[in-house]
Structure 1
Amino acid sequence: MTMDIAALRRDTPACARVVHFNNAGAALPPAVVVDTVVDHLRREAAIGGYEAEAEAGERLEAVYGSVARLIGAAPDEIALVESATRAWDMAFYSLRFGPGDRILTARAEYASNYIAFLQMARRTGAEIVPIPSDESGAVSLPELDRLLDERVKLIAVTHIPTSGGLINPAEEIGRRARSAGVPFLLDACQSVGQLPIDVEAIGCDMLSATGRKYLRGPRGTGFLYVRRALLERLEPPFLDLHAACWTAPDRYELRPDARRFESWESHVAGRLGLGAAVDYALRLGLPAIRDRVCALAERLRARLAELPGVAVRDLGQRRCGIVTFTREGEDAAAVKARLGAQAIHVSVSTASGTLLDFEARGIPDLIRASVHYYNDESEIDRFVAALAAA
């Protein structure tokens, strides 16, 4: 599919005012997402929150189907929650660990996930084992093979680390997890919306994602996928009258579907906006999105590599729309502030986000420029010129 970039930019009014290379933080939403959220909030103001939710019942139900289509799942395997972190936590803390049980993870694992590992290790005596990286910086598959034994109770990996462009080999990890009978939790926070995702092809048992990044949805939205075959073995770490039914004074029954990981109260307008964002991405097609995003990112990397004193820091043989770099003589926060004053948006990644990775590479911080399909080549030119003009 050929994208009409001019039309997509018109559908994103902020493109006329800013160069937004912070899509790995929060992308600019298309007009339909904004309108969907605002229209529902106005409806709540007009008739009441409960009444507006009831009126939107079919549209809300359709969001589960849209998310399921996005990742190749079934609607009853989807839970809608308020963030990718909450989705990930609900899955992780549903698992049971004991002394000596092992959690295998990546060296570039995200801080929120690793902190949860540390807490679980402290509570239960489980062990955290980072899988060594290969020469490209991705998870080493031979090392994973070496570590996979009867002590391993979970493989939990971030598909695309927050601090660079590499794409971890999720399908190859999934094949090994499935063969070993070990649950596989994939943090797809940065990959959903920029890459085609098929949970059956990947072989993950659980997947967490956010709305605000490459899906271009509202903040405060996310979702969790749990494979039906695993679902019946998991009890969420906390429940309410939506996740379970109080059946007798001393008994309750869990919902039979993934909505056992939800809570009753939710951001209804945000959920509708998430559905609009997913449908927008599906209409464009994820293969077309991937091709456009990756091409823009490679163009940006090539232009940055031409600048004196600039070092592109992305790892991986397969790389995505996140471009990270350092500039000699100027710390990352100063670069961000200088570009921001010119309405050019980037973010900064520090060791607090992926500590093991940063320590191994000896890097204190990075500038992160993350492109999306609505960005264009003229913005790359403007970005490189502004960066060079110090």
Structure 2
Amino acid sequence: MPGLLARTRRSTIPARHRCFTGSISAKPNTNASISSAPISPPWPFLNAVSAATSHLIMCRKDIRANGSNTRSAPAAPYGDKLVIDNRFALLRAQLPYQADLTFLNTSTLGLSPQIVVDTVVQNIRAFEEKNSSGQHDEHWLVVKGQAAELLGCSANEIALTRNTTEGANVVCSGLPFTPGDEIITSSHEHTGNIFAWLGRAQRDGLHIKVFEPAPSAAETLTRIEALYTPQTCALSIPHVSCANGQVLPVQDIGAWARDRGLWYFVDGAQAAGMIPVDVASIGCHAYATSGHKWLLGPKGTGLLYVREDALDLIRATYIGAYSNEGPFDLASGQFQFHPSAQRYEYGTLNGAFVAGLGAAFTWLGDFGFDSIFRHDRALADQLREGLKQLDIETLSPDEPAARSAIITFRLANMPYADLQSFLMKNYRLRVRGIYEGGLDAIRVSLHLYNTVADVQRVLEAVEAAKKV
């Protein structure tokens, strides 16, 4: 949107505006404490599931033998051709899920494959035998390396969390707001994100300004721009709307925010594992996602990316035994934060869950995120076309760049709660009702374990519901 940005760019930022104005730093974090010793994994998942991944990650630029931590080059764009991958039809046997239900709700919780479940169980047993939590920085760094490869950053910019909500709270609580500051967000926010901002606004006298995502990227950016004032300090934007699956123009928004010196947080709960993500291109200060949605990891896993040059900007407010580096002294007050995003890991995490997340990365990577993306989008486009032929109102965007594997629709003759009940009772379809943004609709999320038969089943059920 060069024209739009050129028309509205301000030559100066008000003196009161304390917001960070730095650009993305490509400088490697040579102070990060990454051991140069080779990893000798004690975890069952590294031995039995991901030994090859461990070797691969150690050979990548994200974790070099000499201890530097430069990010690898961004992954090549995913292919444009959307193809349903018939290999995935065989995956049902690897999913410990009720066979009589058609699962269409990955946006809430993904189905973990059996290898992930087994990895968690094996590691719980192994850790209990040793009376250990499984907290091990070097082996956790392998999983962080897998996450960094997916998100397009360095391993030292990744913190392990329990969910997207925790990551959002870390960012929201850590930014140095003052009374009167304004935050721009969308009407499609999940409660797990927006509640953190509402709470901070209530506590510190901040103002939240809301825009409705538009059908096109250009109009969405125009609506954001219309809310901007000299008091605007931050944006909290979903990468993909949890309400209707719209992919927001996060890269254009990032450029717009950077020109105005705004802090920029992206909620990636509905993106990682479903669409390509490159946080460097987005230009955000922080990006949070869940491991238990499209990444199919254990429930209670998440990832927080904080850009290297924003680590001191987003101050860690929950601090524990893993947040520091070096000695501390009560008498003198000596304390030093860890130089990486590990500073946000303030207490004991479930090591078995981290191992399971690593197994999920490996399992998905074996199929290829490119293939998964194209498969998911092809199914979603097929459902979209089928709903169109049935003359059903579809709330998901038509603009190709804004489409995802989420399709949201509604019927004029049936409220969402009744329709959700109808689909489950009569067709055994597990979907989610959508009240966010006042949409009163049904959301269908299609992932690699879904098939053309699942799409046809939805269309059959919707056609029947339309006649009720």
TM-score normalised over the length of structure 2:
0.74
* Unpaired segments ≥5 residues, structure 2: 1-78
Structure with higher Rg: it is 2
My pick for the range that moved more, 280-289 or 7-16, is 7-16
Q: Which amino acid aligns with 1:85?
A: T
Change (3 A) 1:133 1:46: closer
> What displacement does 1:377 show?
0.4
* Unpaired segments ≥5 residues, structure 1: none
Deviations along 1:142-197, one digit per CA (max 9) or x if unpaired, are 34345445432211101111111211101111112223222210000001110110
Partner of 1:284: 367
- The answer to whether the aligner puts 1:111 opposite 2:191 as a matched pair is yes
Structure 2 CA distance for aligned equivalents of residues 138 and 259 of structure 1: 37
Partner of 1:266: 349
Change (3 A) 1:316 1:224: farther
Is this contact kept in 1: 2:164–2:303, CA < 8 A?
A: yes
Secondary structure, counterpart of 2:335 in structure 1: strand
> What displacement does 1:267 show?
1.4
Q: Which of the numbers 444, 447, 450 marks the counterpart of 1:369?
A: 444
Secondary structure, counterpart of 2:354 in structure 1: helix
Is this contact kept in 2: 1:131–1:139, CA < 8 A?
A: no
Secondary structure, counterpart of 1:79 in structure 2: strand
Deviations along 1:355-382, one digit per CA (max 9) or x if unpaired, are xx32xxxx4x211111112211011112
Q: Which amino acid aligns with 2:365?
A: L
Q: Which amino acid aligns with 1:259?
A: Q
Is this contact kept in 2: 1:167–1:316, CA < 8 A?
A: no
Structure 2 CA distance for aligned equivalents of residues 196 and 282 of structure 1: 13
Q: Which amino acid aligns with 2:453?
A: S
Structure 2 CA distance for aligned equivalents of residues 282 and 88 of structure 1: 26
Partner of 1:169: 249
My pick for the range that moved more, 58-67 or 255-264, is 58-67
Partner of 1:383: 458
Change (3 A) 1:210 1:139: farther
My pick for the range that moved more, 117-126 or 81-90, is 117-126
Q: Which of the numbers 312, 315, 321 marks the counterpart of 2:397?
A: 315
- The answer to whether the aligner puts 1:253 opposite 2:253 as a matched pair is no
Is this contact kept in 1: 2:176–2:313, CA < 8 A?
A: no
Structure 1 CA distance for aligned equivalents of residues 430 and 126 of structure 2: 33
Is this contact kept in 1: 2:408–2:441, CA < 8 A?
A: yes
My pick for the range that moved more, 330-339 or 34-43, is 330-339
Is this contact kept in 2: 1:64–1:78, CA < 8 A?
A: yes
Structure 1 CA distance for aligned equivalents of residues 138 and 194 of structure 2: 38
TM-score normalised over the length of structure 1:
0.88
Greater strand proportion: 1
Structure 1 CA distance for aligned equivalents of residues 256 and 311 of structure 2: 20
Partner of 1:328: 412
Relative contact order: is structure 1 or structure 2 higher (C-alpha 8 Å, sep ≥ 6)? 1
> What displacement does 1:287 show?
2.8
* Within-5 A mapping of 1:195-274: 195-244=275-324, 247-249=328-330, 250-274=333-357
Change (3 A) 1:311 1:134: closer
Calculate percent identity across the aligned residue pairs.
30
Deviations along 1:307-328, one digit per CA (max 9) or x if unpaired, are 36x4222236221111112223
Change (3 A) 1:343 1:169: same
My pick for the range that moved more, 231-240 or 66-75, is 231-240
Change (3 A) 1:176 1:271: same
Matched residues, number: 376
Change (3 A) 1:315 1:11: same
Deviations along 1:303-361, one digit per CA (max 9) or x if unpaired, are 223336x42222362211111122233332233233323432111111xxx3xx32xxx
Secondary structure, counterpart of 2:201 in structure 1: helix
* Within-5 A mapping of 1:51-70: 53=134, 58-70=138-150
> What displacement does 1:17 show?
3.8
Partner of 2:210: 130
Change (3 A) 1:175 1:137: closer
Secondary structure, counterpart of 1:254 in structure 2: coil
My pick for the range that moved more, 76-85 or 141-150, is 141-150
Change (3 A) 1:12 1:65: same
Change (3 A) 1:180 1:254: same
